[in-house]
Amino acid sequence: MKTKHFLLVLILFVYAGLYIATSTPDKCDNDCERTNQTFMNLRLNRPYVSTLYRCTNRQGSDTLCVFVSDTTGIDWNLFADTACMVASQNGLPRQKIFIIKSGATPPDTLAKKVCP
Amino acid sequence: MNARLLIRLLLHCVLPLVIGFAIYYFFRPEVAVIRWTGHHTPLIPVSEMNDWQRLLVFSGPDFCWSYSLSAALFIWQKAQDRPLPYFTLFVFLIILLSELLQGWALPGFTLDWADLIAALSAFGLSWMFKAR
Protein backbone atom coordinates (compact mmCIF):
# COMPACT_ATOMS: atom_id res chain seq x y z
CA MET A 1 0.00 0.00 0.00
CA LYS A 2 1.31 3.42 -0.88
CA THR A 3 2.34 5.70 1.96
CA LYS A 4 -0.38 8.23 1.17
CA HIS A 5 -3.09 5.60 1.42
CA PHE A 6 -1.57 4.28 4.62
CA LEU A 7 -1.83 7.81 6.02
CA LEU A 8 -5.50 8.02 5.03
CA VAL A 9 -6.23 4.71 6.76
CA LEU A 10 -4.27 5.88 9.81
CA ILE A 11 -6.33 9.09 10.02
CA LEU A 12 -9.55 7.09 9.85
CA PHE A 13 -8.35 4.66 12.53
CA VAL A 14 -7.28 7.44 14.91
CA TYR A 15 -10.62 9.21 14.59
CA ALA A 16 -12.51 5.92 14.91
CA GLY A 17 -10.62 5.32 18.16
CA LEU A 18 -11.59 8.75 19.45
CA TYR A 19 -15.19 8.07 18.42
CA ILE A 20 -15.32 4.81 20.37
CA ALA A 21 -13.62 6.43 23.36
CA THR A 22 -16.54 8.79 23.79
CA SER A 23 -19.15 6.08 24.19
CA THR A 24 -21.24 6.10 27.34
CA PRO A 25 -21.64 2.94 29.44
CA ASP A 26 -25.27 2.33 28.61
CA LYS A 27 -28.25 4.02 27.17
CA CYS A 28 -30.48 5.37 29.90
CA ASP A 29 -32.69 2.36 30.56
CA ASN A 30 -34.81 1.64 33.63
CA ASP A 31 -31.81 1.13 35.85
CA CYS A 32 -30.25 4.35 34.61
CA GLU A 33 -33.49 6.24 35.27
CA ARG A 34 -33.64 4.88 38.81
CA THR A 35 -30.01 5.76 39.38
CA ASN A 36 -30.57 9.29 38.10
CA GLN A 37 -33.64 9.68 40.28
CA THR A 38 -31.71 8.44 43.31
CA PHE A 39 -29.05 11.05 42.57
CA MET A 40 -31.63 13.83 42.24
CA ASN A 41 -33.32 12.88 45.53
CA LEU A 42 -30.05 12.42 47.37
CA ARG A 43 -28.79 15.79 46.18
CA LEU A 44 -31.81 17.66 47.53
CA ASN A 45 -30.54 19.89 50.36
CA ARG A 46 -27.17 18.14 50.19
CA PRO A 47 -24.97 20.37 48.02
CA TYR A 48 -21.94 18.26 48.88
CA VAL A 49 -23.28 15.40 46.71
CA SER A 50 -21.40 15.84 43.41
CA THR A 51 -22.61 12.91 41.37
CA LEU A 52 -23.74 9.32 41.55
CA TYR A 53 -23.52 6.42 39.17
CA ARG A 54 -22.86 2.72 38.86
CA CYS A 55 -19.32 1.93 39.95
CA THR A 56 -18.85 -0.48 37.03
CA ASN A 57 -20.22 -0.74 33.52
CA ARG A 58 -21.18 -4.37 34.10
CA GLN A 59 -24.84 -4.98 33.35
CA GLY A 60 -26.83 -5.81 36.46
CA SER A 61 -24.31 -4.12 38.74
CA ASP A 62 -25.57 -3.52 42.28
CA THR A 63 -22.92 -0.96 43.19
CA LEU A 64 -23.58 2.73 43.55
CA CYS A 65 -20.71 5.19 43.80
CA VAL A 66 -21.71 8.46 45.40
CA PHE A 67 -19.13 11.19 44.93
CA VAL A 68 -19.11 13.90 47.56
CA SER A 69 -17.05 16.95 48.32
CA ASP A 70 -15.34 16.34 51.62
CA THR A 71 -17.29 18.50 54.02
CA THR A 72 -16.06 18.12 57.54
CA GLY A 73 -18.56 17.33 60.24
CA ILE A 74 -20.67 14.95 58.19
CA ASP A 75 -21.17 11.42 59.43
CA TRP A 76 -20.54 9.52 56.20
CA ASN A 77 -21.74 6.21 57.61
CA LEU A 78 -25.05 7.83 58.45
CA PHE A 79 -25.10 9.38 55.01
CA ALA A 80 -24.51 5.91 53.50
CA ASP A 81 -27.58 4.68 55.42
CA THR A 82 -29.57 7.57 53.95
CA ALA A 83 -28.27 6.71 50.47
CA CYS A 84 -29.47 3.12 50.99
CA MET A 85 -32.91 4.35 51.97
CA VAL A 86 -33.18 6.76 49.02
CA ALA A 87 -31.95 4.11 46.57
CA SER A 88 -34.47 1.63 47.94
CA GLN A 89 -37.27 4.19 47.63
CA ASN A 90 -36.33 4.59 43.98
CA GLY A 91 -36.49 0.88 43.21
CA LEU A 92 -32.84 0.01 43.91
CA PRO A 93 -32.87 -2.23 47.00
CA ARG A 94 -29.90 -4.22 48.33
CA GLN A 95 -27.25 -2.02 46.75
CA LYS A 96 -23.62 -1.73 47.72
CA ILE A 97 -23.03 1.93 48.42
CA PHE A 98 -19.60 3.56 48.22
CA ILE A 99 -19.23 7.14 49.41
CA ILE A 100 -16.19 8.54 47.66
CA LYS A 101 -14.45 11.86 48.03
CA SER A 102 -14.54 13.84 44.77
CA GLY A 103 -11.32 14.79 43.08
CA ALA A 104 -9.06 12.58 45.18
CA THR A 105 -6.43 10.52 43.38
CA PRO A 106 -6.41 7.65 44.15
CA PRO A 107 -10.10 7.62 45.11
CA ASP A 108 -10.68 8.07 48.83
CA THR A 109 -13.58 5.95 50.08
CA LEU A 110 -15.24 7.67 53.04
CA ALA A 111 -17.82 4.98 53.78
CA LYS A 112 -19.12 1.64 52.46
CA LYS A 113 -22.47 0.09 53.12
CA VAL A 114 -24.25 -3.04 51.98
CA CYS A 115 -27.89 -2.07 52.03
CA PRO A 116 -30.39 -4.48 53.60
CA MET B 1 6.50 19.44 7.44
CA ASN B 2 6.34 23.13 6.71
CA ALA B 3 5.16 25.71 9.24
CA ARG B 4 1.96 26.51 7.35
CA LEU B 5 0.86 22.89 7.32
CA LEU B 6 1.70 22.53 11.00
CA ILE B 7 -0.42 25.56 11.87
CA ARG B 8 -3.31 24.20 9.79
CA LEU B 9 -3.10 20.85 11.57
CA LEU B 10 -2.97 22.45 15.02
CA LEU B 11 -5.76 24.93 14.30
CA HIS B 12 -8.17 22.74 12.35
CA CYS B 13 -7.46 19.23 13.68
CA VAL B 14 -5.88 19.35 17.14
CA LEU B 15 -7.62 22.40 18.63
CA PRO B 16 -11.20 21.13 17.99
CA LEU B 17 -10.26 17.80 19.58
CA VAL B 18 -8.86 19.58 22.63
CA ILE B 19 -12.04 21.64 22.95
CA GLY B 20 -14.20 18.51 22.60
CA PHE B 21 -12.12 16.69 25.21
CA ALA B 22 -12.42 19.66 27.58
CA ILE B 23 -16.21 19.62 27.24
CA TYR B 24 -16.26 15.91 28.08
CA TYR B 25 -13.78 16.34 30.91
CA PHE B 26 -15.58 19.16 32.66
CA PHE B 27 -19.21 18.32 31.93
CA ARG B 28 -19.60 14.68 30.88
CA PRO B 29 -17.25 12.53 32.94
CA GLU B 30 -19.44 9.48 32.31
CA VAL B 31 -17.98 8.92 28.83
CA ALA B 32 -15.37 6.19 28.55
CA VAL B 33 -12.35 8.36 27.76
CA ILE B 34 -12.89 10.53 30.85
CA ARG B 35 -13.64 7.58 33.13
CA TRP B 36 -10.23 6.21 32.14
CA THR B 37 -8.63 9.38 33.49
CA GLY B 38 -10.22 8.80 36.90
CA HIS B 39 -12.06 12.12 36.79
CA HIS B 40 -15.65 11.80 38.01
CA THR B 41 -17.21 15.09 38.87
CA PRO B 42 -18.93 17.42 36.38
CA LEU B 43 -18.65 21.17 36.96
CA ILE B 44 -22.42 21.38 36.56
CA PRO B 45 -24.63 18.26 36.65
CA VAL B 46 -26.61 17.82 33.44
CA SER B 47 -29.82 17.96 35.47
CA GLU B 48 -29.03 21.57 36.37
CA MET B 49 -28.18 22.79 32.87
CA ASN B 50 -30.44 24.94 30.74
CA ASP B 51 -31.25 23.98 27.14
CA TRP B 52 -28.38 25.95 25.61
CA GLN B 53 -25.87 24.47 28.00
CA ARG B 54 -27.14 20.97 27.24
CA LEU B 55 -26.88 21.64 23.52
CA LEU B 56 -23.29 22.80 23.93
CA VAL B 57 -22.34 19.91 26.18
CA PHE B 58 -24.02 17.15 24.14
CA SER B 59 -23.61 18.35 20.55
CA GLY B 60 -20.45 20.46 20.94
CA PRO B 61 -18.06 17.48 21.06
CA ASP B 62 -19.73 15.96 17.97
CA PHE B 63 -19.24 19.25 16.16
CA CYS B 64 -15.59 19.37 17.20
CA TRP B 65 -14.87 15.73 16.22
CA SER B 66 -16.61 16.08 12.87
CA TYR B 67 -14.85 19.34 12.09
CA SER B 68 -11.48 17.91 13.03
CA LEU B 69 -11.94 14.73 10.98
CA SER B 70 -13.21 16.61 7.94
CA ALA B 71 -10.29 19.02 8.16
CA ALA B 72 -7.79 16.18 8.52
CA LEU B 73 -9.19 14.45 5.45
CA PHE B 74 -9.28 17.66 3.40
CA ILE B 75 -5.70 18.45 4.40
CA TRP B 76 -4.71 14.92 3.38
CA GLN B 77 -6.49 15.39 0.07
CA LYS B 78 -4.73 18.68 -0.58
CA ALA B 79 -1.37 16.96 -0.19
CA GLN B 80 -2.15 14.57 -3.05
CA ASP B 81 -0.64 15.08 -6.50
CA ARG B 82 -3.98 15.14 -8.28
CA PRO B 83 -7.56 15.77 -7.14
CA LEU B 84 -9.50 12.72 -6.05
CA PRO B 85 -12.96 12.39 -7.55
CA TYR B 86 -15.86 12.27 -5.12
CA PHE B 87 -13.57 12.80 -2.14
CA THR B 88 -15.83 15.50 -0.65
CA LEU B 89 -18.75 13.08 -0.98
CA PHE B 90 -16.64 10.41 0.73
CA VAL B 91 -15.96 12.74 3.68
CA PHE B 92 -19.62 13.77 3.82
CA LEU B 93 -20.73 10.13 3.96
CA ILE B 94 -18.27 9.31 6.75
CA ILE B 95 -19.60 12.18 8.84
CA LEU B 96 -23.21 11.33 8.06
CA LEU B 97 -22.77 7.61 8.78
CA SER B 98 -20.83 8.26 11.98
CA GLU B 99 -23.91 9.99 13.36
CA LEU B 100 -26.58 7.73 11.87
CA LEU B 101 -24.81 4.57 13.08
CA GLN B 102 -25.18 5.82 16.64
CA GLY B 103 -28.91 5.34 16.40
CA TRP B 104 -28.98 1.91 14.85
CA ALA B 105 -25.84 -0.09 15.29
CA LEU B 106 -23.66 1.05 18.15
CA PRO B 107 -24.37 0.34 21.83
CA GLY B 108 -23.30 3.10 24.17
CA PHE B 109 -24.25 5.86 21.72
CA THR B 110 -27.42 7.75 21.03
CA LEU B 111 -28.63 9.35 17.81
CA ASP B 112 -29.71 12.89 18.37
CA TRP B 113 -30.88 15.19 15.58
CA ALA B 114 -29.03 18.09 17.16
CA ASP B 115 -25.84 16.00 16.98
CA LEU B 116 -26.49 15.23 13.33
CA ILE B 117 -27.03 18.90 12.50
CA ALA B 118 -23.92 19.82 14.47
CA ALA B 119 -21.82 17.21 12.64
CA LEU B 120 -23.05 18.23 9.19
CA SER B 121 -22.53 21.91 10.04
CA ALA B 122 -18.99 21.09 11.06
CA PHE B 123 -18.45 19.30 7.76
CA GLY B 124 -19.81 22.31 5.88
CA LEU B 125 -17.60 24.72 7.79
CA SER B 126 -14.56 22.56 7.18
CA TRP B 127 -15.40 22.33 3.49
CA MET B 128 -15.63 26.14 3.31
CA PHE B 129 -12.19 26.49 4.85
CA LYS B 130 -10.87 23.85 2.47
CA ALA B 131 -11.94 25.97 -0.51
CA ARG B 132 -9.64 28.78 0.63
| Structural domain containing residue B67 | 3-130
pLDDT over threshold 90, residue A51: no
Residues of B whose CB is below 8 A from A43: 45
Share of chain B above pLDDT 90, in %: 44
User: Residue A61's pLDDT is what?
Assistant: 75
Single pTM value for the model: 0.64
Per DSSP, B84 falls in state P
A73: left (phi over 0), alpha (psi -120 to 50) or beta: left
Query: Among the listed ranges A13-17, A36-40, A103-107, which one has the minimum average pLDDT value?
Result: A103-107
**Which residues lie below 8 Å from residue B130, measured CB to CB, with a gap of 6+?**
B71, B74, B77, B78
Nearest to A18 by CA among B72, B50, B80: B72
Q: Do B94 and A67 touch (CB under 8 A)?
A: no
d(CA A76, CA A57) in angstroms, rounded, equals 25
Q: CA-CA distance, A16 to A36, in Å (whole number)?
A: 30
| Chain A partners within 8 Å of B47 (Cβ) | 36, 39-40
Give how many domains chain B has, as a whole number. Answer: 1
- What are the pLDDT digits (tens) for A59-110? 667 889 998 887 778 899 999 999 999 999 998 988 999 999 887 777 788 9
**pLDDT one-digit tens code per residue, B69-86:** 999 999 999 888 777 889
Cis peptide before B83 (omega within 30 of 0): no
